[in-house]
């Protein structure tokens, strides 16, 4: 994947210093450095227990759902549209799933209904953004609010619904080595997404649609169809994420998924995606970005530091990441 | 509309039919749409519940309009001058609010408190502007990041704040003048004043020119940096003014209360016909658009729906508004 990325950066100059500079500016290098820094800080601060099997398992189960959600919405970023509604879509899908299963509905049927509802939301997003030409950030901010409101309505006065689907929790609680099974499944998803994004024609088309819309259209690629597809995939990922959270947590609440979109996009931007331009980044880089945020969150958690500090760090990282994106060749804003 | 005066020489060379067609939908069509929607909402609610038409309704609508109106004005300044969106409005409201009630509790004189509150707002805006200008970064991302970090810091500082009951702030905020809430009048005044300044002064027209086309404005010798600082600083100062009205009229608040305004503020700006791509729109149109949006929650109460449905409606209105804005852009581009 690094080969694909470096061809995008215009360093024809083959001198040694230019190559080194190019490598440092390439997304893969910056994520690898960030991840290394997080692990080094973790080891220095928490000692060897930071990389112990039990802590890796904690980080893994914490990061699994964001990885699934982020990988799907990362493909939307790649095609040039950003979907801010993923966080509250996770919350909405989780709430709907908890509400119906606690009423005694069959878990499989309920899951299908929740995924279908998410797809409908994704379709509305796509309709507004692709067909009507709405600003993606503002339109999906609207969807974020709609779904947040619906979740609050569904959660009712208590603001939470308990739902224990027998077998679901036990299944998700299994481990393969130090890794939770959900984390392993999520990583398999990342592998598939990375292969699709970098090795297939579909992947090239997605990248082209995000990179230069007009050129892609002229080359005969249906940008409309691709963006409909990626926005619906992003919604599907968020819907699945919500259902999986119920399996992990055993219930929904008004707070589930709030701010998740910011954490995910900050992480994806650290990982080489850009929420302002498509055609850059790849799922493998994105997952490393997500692990950076999960690793930082875990450190503060172990030290029982107020979780709001994570948001402060994520906010700063977001701005740093967009600065890095500009240095890598993103548009300068004046 | 200022855009129309800039392009007058070109209009003379065009056939009269297309000239009429272009000028009409710009301002008039949008105004008709907003007033029409407002009237329809009032009529529909009155038919269902005749007791909707009352002084009480007028009071709650104007009450809601006050803070939203001033914040929408701040957002509109940013949008019209090409700054796209200021997503840090929640922090820009909460930070000065917290300072205002803290100083008021210490017994500081009300005028000094107001002065410091507005200055703090301006300082927050200047902070955003400095990151945007020096990093050449997109304002949406910068304000997304600063809001994320800023709100987290506010949550670390306080969980809930009270406006001192016997302070000047709270006396003013709970009073009435000419049958309407006191806080309504500063909003009206600011809207009239800033709307006038934007059209009639050189500085206002420069800001609109920057929003219309930064490169053209730059080649005419307008400093983009200074404009950004002036606009984000003024927007922050307006948010500080909104904080005075907000703390005066709310006995207590939490850091999360600012977030509820963000959506209605963005929706108000777009509904007012102020395009997110800059350079077009009239600030005075904010009055009917905020009026309409502030009537929605009151109507919902009369239809027997609770607060959470209000959130759903706000999001839905935002999606529809940006979709209409997108269509309008497409038509203009053609």
DSSP per-residue string spanning B221-282: T--HHHHHHHHHHHHHHHHHHHHHHHHHH-SEE-GGGGHHHHHHHHHHHHHTT--TTSS---
- Report the candidate in A226, A217, A288, A246 with the shortest Cα–Cα distance to residue A70: A288
Question: Would you call B137 an interface residue with chain A, using a CB distance cutoff of 8 Å?
Answer: yes
Site of tokens 């790649």: A78
pLDDT band at A24 (very low <50, low <70, confident <90, very high): low
Q: Does residue B64 register a pLDDT over 50? A: yes
A282-317 per-position pLDDT tens digit:
899 999 999 988 998 899 888 888 888 888 888 888
Domain positions in chain B: 55-258+275-280
Q: Which of chain A's residues have a Cβ under 8 Å away from the Cβ of B324?
A: 132
Q: Which of chain A's residues have a Cβ under 8 Å away from the Cβ of B150?
A: 315
Please list, in sequence order, all residues whose beta carbon lies within 8 angstroms of the beta carbon of residue A276, skipping any fewer than 6 positions away.
A322, A325, A330, A331, B138, B140, B141
Domains of chain A: 2-10+18-327 (1.10.3470)
List the 85-104 stretch of B: residues with Cβ below 8 A of A. 85
Residue contact A311–B152, C-beta within 8 A: yes
Question: Would you call A146 an interface residue with chain B, using a CB distance cutoff of 8 Å?
Answer: yes
A146: nearest CB among B85, B144, B315: B315
The answer to whether A140 and A82 have CB atoms below 8 angstroms apart is: yes
For residue B334, the model assigns a pLDDT of: 67
Instruction: Return d(Cα B155, Cα B75) in angstroms, integer.
Output: 23
Site of tokens 């003013």: B172
For residue B291, the model assigns a pLDDT of: 94
Q: Which of chain B's residues have a Cβ under 8 Å away from the Cβ of A132?
A: 323-324, 326-327, 330
How close B172 gets to chain A, by Cα (Å)?
A: 32
Strands (DSSP E) found in B123-193: 161-162, 176-177, 180-181
The answer to whether B74 and B238 have CB atoms below 8 angstroms apart is: yes
- Bridge partner list, B162: B252
B244-259 per-position pLDDT tens digit:
999 999 989 999 888 8
For residue B3, the model assigns a pLDDT of: 38
Question: Would you call A147 an interface residue with chain B, using a CB distance cutoff of 8 Å?
Answer: yes
Q: Which among B138, B154, B267 is the top mutation candidate for probing chain A, defined by the most A β-carbons within 10 Å of its own β-carbon?
A: B138
For residue A25, the model assigns a pLDDT of: 58
Q: Virtual CA dihedral for A81, A82, A85, A86, nearest 10 degrees? A: 100
Q: Which among B91, B305, B318 is the top mutation candidate for probing chain A, defined by the most A β-carbons within 10 Å of its own β-carbon?
A: B318
The answer to whether B327 and A133 have CB atoms below 8 angstroms apart is: yes
The arithmetic mean of pLDDT across residues B263-283, rounded, is 85
Question: Would you call B158 an interface residue with chain A, using a CB distance cutoff of 8 Å?
Answer: no
> Parallel, antiparallel, or unpaired: how do β-strands B161-162 and B252-253 relate?
antiparallel
Instruction: Return d(Cα A91, Cα A100) in angstroms, integer.
Output: 14
For residue B122, the model assigns a pLDDT of: 97
- Report the candidate in B84, B330, B23 with the shortest Cα–Cα distance to residue B228: B84
For residue A27, the model assigns a pLDDT of: 65
Query: CA dist B81 to B121, B126, B205, B277, Å?
Result: 19, 15, 9, 9
How close B99 gets to chain A, by Cα (Å)?
A: 20
Nearest CA in chain A to B269: A138
The answer to whether B87 and B265 have CB atoms below 8 angstroms apart is: no
Question: Would you call A159 an interface residue with chain B, using a CB distance cutoff of 8 Å?
Answer: no
How close B184 gets to chain A, by Cα (Å)?
A: 26
Q: What is the 3-state secondary structure (H, E, C) of chain A?
A: CHHHHHHHCCCCCCCHHHHHHHHHHCHHHHHHHHHHHHHHHHHHHHHHHHHCHHHHHHHHHHHHHHHHHHHHHHHHHHCCCCCCCHHHHHHHHHHHHHHHHHCCCCHHHHHHHHHHHHHHHHHHHHHHHHHCCCCHHHHHHHHHHHHHHHHHHHHCCCCEEECCCCCHHHHHCCEECCEEHHHHHHHHHHHHHHHHHHHCHHHHHHHHHHHCHHHHHHCCCCHHHHHHHHHHHHHHHHHHHHHHHHHHHCEEECCCCCCHHHHHHHHHHHCCCCCCCCCCCCHHHHHHHHHHHHHHHHHHHHCCCCCHHHHHHHHHHHHHHHHHHHHCCCCCCC
| Interface confidence (ipTM) of the complex | 0.83
A147-169 per-position pLDDT tens digit:
999 999 998 878 888 888 878 88
- Report the candidate in A93, A74, A71 with the shortest Cα–Cα distance to residue A83: A74
CA B219, B220, B226 angle in degrees (round to 5)? 90
For residue A15, the model assigns a pLDDT of: 63
A246-286 per-position pLDDT tens digit:
988 888 888 888 888 888 988 898 888 888 788 888 899 99
- The structure tokens listed for A324 are 């890095």
The answer to whether A290 and A304 have CB atoms below 8 angstroms apart is: no
The answer to whether B124 and B143 have CB atoms below 8 angstroms apart is: no
For residue A14, the model assigns a pLDDT of: 56
List the 205-224 stretch of B: residues with Cβ below 8 A of A. 214, 218, 224
A204-252 per-position pLDDT tens digit:
999 999 988 899 999 999 999 999 999 999 999 999 999 999 988 888 8
Residue contact B315–A322, C-beta within 8 A: no
User: In the Cβ-directed half-sphere of A242, how many Cα atoms lie within 13 Å?
Assistant: 39
- The structure tokens listed for A177 are 């080595």
Percent of chain A with pLDDT over 90: 49
Q: Which of chain B's residues have a Cβ under 8 Å away from the Cβ of A137?
A: 85, 140
Q: Which of chain B's residues have a Cβ under 8 Å away from the Cβ of A139?
A: 318-319, 322-323, 326
The arithmetic mean of pLDDT across residues B18-29, rounded, is 51
Question: Would you call A334 an interface residue with chain B, using a CB distance cutoff of 8 Å?
Answer: yes
- Bridge partner list, A162: A251
Question: Would you call B318 an interface residue with chain A, using a CB distance cutoff of 8 Å?
Answer: yes
List the 187-246 stretch of A: residues with Cβ below 8 A of B. none
- The structure tokens listed for B147 are 């809001």
pTM for this prediction: 0.82
Cα-Cα-Cα-Cα dihedral sign, residues B229, B234, B235, B241 = positive
Q: Does residue B10 register a pLDDT over 50? A: no
Site of tokens 């306080």: B158
Cβ of B300: how many Cβ atoms within 10 Å? 18
Instruction: Return d(Cα B195, Cα B282) in angstroms, integer.
Output: 7
Residue contact B318–A145, C-beta within 8 A: yes
pLDDT band at B14 (very low <50, low <70, confident <90, very high): very low
The arithmetic mean of pLDDT across residues B186-204, rounded, is 92
Question: Would you call A316 an interface residue with chain B, using a CB distance cutoff of 8 Å?
Answer: yes
Site of tokens 């309505």: A153
Residue contact A132–B324, C-beta within 8 A: yes
B290-332 per-position pLDDT tens digit:
999 999 989 998 888 887 888 898 889 889 888 888 888 788 7
Nearest CA in chain B to A318: B145
For residue A31, the model assigns a pLDDT of: 81
Instruction: Return d(Cα B32, Cα A276) in angstroms, integer.
Output: 34
- The structure tokens listed for A290 are 């997500």
- Report the candidate in B281, B227, B249, B69 with the shortest Cα–Cα distance to residue B169: B249
B113-169 per-position pLDDT tens digit:
999 999 999 999 999 999 999 988 889 889 988 998 999 999 999 999 998 888 888
How close A231 gets to chain B, by Cα (Å)?
A: 15
A33-63 per-position pLDDT tens digit:
888 999 999 999 988 889 898 899 999 999 9
Q: Which of chain A's residues have a Cβ under 8 Å away from the Cβ of B226?
A: none
């Amino acid at each position: 994947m690094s080969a694909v990325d470096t061809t995008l950066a215009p360093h024809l100059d083959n001198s040694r210093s230019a190559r080194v500079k190019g490598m440092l500016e390439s997304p893969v290098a910056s994520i690898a450095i960030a991840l290394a820094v997080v692990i080094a800080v973790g080891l220095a601060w928490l000692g060897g227990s930071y990389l112990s099997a039990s802590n890796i398992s904690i980080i893994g189960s914490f990061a699994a759902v964001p990885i699934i959600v982020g990988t799907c919405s990362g493909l939307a970023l790649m095609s040039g549209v950003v979907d801010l509604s993923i966080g509250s879509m996770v919350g909405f899908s989780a709430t709907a799933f908890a509400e119906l299963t606690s009423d005694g509905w069959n878990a499989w049927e309920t899951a299908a209904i929740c995924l279908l509802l998410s797809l409908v939301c994704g379709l509305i997003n796509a309709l507004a953004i692709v067909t009507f030409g709405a600003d993606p950030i503002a339109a999906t901010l609207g969807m974020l609010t709609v779904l947040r409101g619906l979740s609050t309505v569904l959660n009712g006065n208590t603001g939470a619904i308990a739902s224990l689907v027998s077998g679901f929790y036990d299944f998700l609680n299994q481990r393969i080595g130090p890794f939770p099974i959900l984390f392993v499944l999520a990583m398999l998803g990342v592998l598939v997404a990375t292969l699709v994004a970098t090795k297939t024609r579909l992947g090239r088309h997605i990248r082209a649609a995000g990179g230069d819309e007009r050129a892609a259209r002229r080359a005969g690629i249906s940008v409309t169809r691709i963006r409909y597809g990626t926005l619906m995939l992003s919604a599907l990922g968020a819907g699945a994420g919500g259902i999986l959270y119920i399996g992990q947590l055993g219930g929904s609440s008004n707070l589930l998924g709030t701010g998740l979109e910011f954490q995910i996009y900050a992480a994806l931007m650290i990982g080489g995606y850009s929420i302002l331009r498509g055609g850059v980044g790849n799922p493998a880089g994105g997952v490393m970005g997500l692990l950076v945020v999960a690793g930082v969150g875990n450190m503060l958690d172990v030290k029982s530091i107020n979780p709001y500090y994570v948001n402060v760090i994520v906010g700063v990282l977001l701005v740093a990441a967009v600065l890095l994106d500009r240095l890598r060749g993103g548009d300068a804003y004046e | 509309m200022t855009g129309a005066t800039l392009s007058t020489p070109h209009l003379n060379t065009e056939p009269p039919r297309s000239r009429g067609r272009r000028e009409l939908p710009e301002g008039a069509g949008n105004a008709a749409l907003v007033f029409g929607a407002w009237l329809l909402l009032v009529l529909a609610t009155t038919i269902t519940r005749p007791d909707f038409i009352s002084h009480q309704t007028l009071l709650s609508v104007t009450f809601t309009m006050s803070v939203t109106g001033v914040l929408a004005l701040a957002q509109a300044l940013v949008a019209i001058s090409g700054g796209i969106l200021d997503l840090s409005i929640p922090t820009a409201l909460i930070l000065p609010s917290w300072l205002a009630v803290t100083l008021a509790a210490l017994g500081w004189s009300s005028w000094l408190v107001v002065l410091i509150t507005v200055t703090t707002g301006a300082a927050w805006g200047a902070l955003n502007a400095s990151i945007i200008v020096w990093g050449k970064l997109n304002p949406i991302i910068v304000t997304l990041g600063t809001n994320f970090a800023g709100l987290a810091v506010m949550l670390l500082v306080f969980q809930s704040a009270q406006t001192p009951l016997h302070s000047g702030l709270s006396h003013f905020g709970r009073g009435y003048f000419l049958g309407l809430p006191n806080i309504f009048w500063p909003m009206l005044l600011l809207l009239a004043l800033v709307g006038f300044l934007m059209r009639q002064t050189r500085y206002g027209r420069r800001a609109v020119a920057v929003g219309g086309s930064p490169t053209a404005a730059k080649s005419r010798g307008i400093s983009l940096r200074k404009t950004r600082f002036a606009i984000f600083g003024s927007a922050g100062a307006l948010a500080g003014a909104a904080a005075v009205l907000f703390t005066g009229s709310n006995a207590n608040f939490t850091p999360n209360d600012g977030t509820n305004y963000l959506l209605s503020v963005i929706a108000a700006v777009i509904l007012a016909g102020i395009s997110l791509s800059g350079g077009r729109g009239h600030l005075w149109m904010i009055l009917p658009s905020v009026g309409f949006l502030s009537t929605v929650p009151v109507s919902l109460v009369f239809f027997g729906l609770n607060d959470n449905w209000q959130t759903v409606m706000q999001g839905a209105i935002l999606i529809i508004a940006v979709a209409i804005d997108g269509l309008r852009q497409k038509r203009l581009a053609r």
